Amino acid sequence: MKLDLKTSPPPITLFSDDAENIAKLLNLDPSKNKPTQIRRFYDELVGWQERIGTDEQKFKDYAAFIHMLNAKAAYAQGRKLVTQEFADWLRGCIAQIDSPRTLNHFRLHFEAMLGFLKFIKKDE
């Protein structure tokens, strides 16, 4: 699924249908992509967003660190904690982050996806 984080305003389904569909995709292997594991990536992303705010220069200063989440996802995938689908989704979204605005769009999408994932996994 190709998401569009660059459109302003964001697509109407980014925080609803798109987030739910990603959560369903990430639940294909219920033994992986546990909400607590995925939450670690979200928490780190939120930390970077809080440091950056709406400051374009700070975004430029920290962009490489945001992209390092891809390496962390690859490591988690190697340890069989997350799936290829999670790593691909994260990589695709991070590739679109080019400003504080797109970072915020991704954070909100990620937050919505986490809510759906937690709901889906509640009975497991």
Per-residue pLDDT band at 77 (split at 50, 70, 90) = very high
Per-residue pLDDT band at 87 (split at 50, 70, 90) = very high
Amino acid making up residue 113: M
Considering the chain, what is the average pLDDT of its residues? 94
pLDDT at 124: 60
In percent, the amount of the chain with pLDDT more than 70 equals 98
- 50 pLDDT higher than 70: yes
Per-residue pLDDT band at 43 (split at 50, 70, 90) = very high
- 123 pLDDT higher than 70: no
**21, exposed or middle or buried, with CB in 10 Å at 0-12, 13-18, 19+?**
middle
- 74 pLDDT higher than 90: yes
pTM of the model: 0.94
- 52 pLDDT higher than 90: yes
Per-residue pLDDT band at 122 (split at 50, 70, 90) = confident
Taking a C-beta distance cutoff of 8 angstroms, is the pair 82, 73 a contact?
Answer: yes
- 1 pLDDT higher than 80: no
